[in-house]
Amino acid sequence: MNVAVASEVHRAARRDWQTTGLLRMKVAAQTPVGRLAGAVARAMREGREVELVAIGVAATYNAVKGLAVAREYLMDDAIGVRAEVCWVLVSDWGPGEERTALAFRLAGVPGGPGDVER
């Protein structure tokens, strides 16, 4: 993802969070997993909820890998990640286009990964 696109995604995500309390991020096949994981971990440390939206196999793989890496980043802070996976209809992908996407809704839980109730 080039810098201009990454900046626009960041600005759009910040606008969403300011209006709804939810940090929404579109994940693409080209999304750098380390940066995605860092953004998710930072949001979790700040007590925010995150929604990762992915369309396609490669984007979904990056979302899952980013979630796994973010979980590793949060271990030292004793923060676990609760994830809910659902299908969503995305209408803002392009002009006049609607697509079905996989959404990962994430929230931080105290105590770290070993203390999460099943």
CATH code at 56? 3.30.110.20
Number of domains in the chain: 1
- Which pLDDT score, from 0 to 100, does residue 99 have? 86
pLDDT at 13 over 60: no
**Is residue 118 assigned to a domain?**
no
Mean pLDDT for the stretch of residues 69-94: 89
Using DSSP, how many helices (H) and how many strands (E) does the chain show?
A: 3, 4
Rounded to two decimals, what is the model's pTM? 0.74
Domain that holds residue 77: 3-110
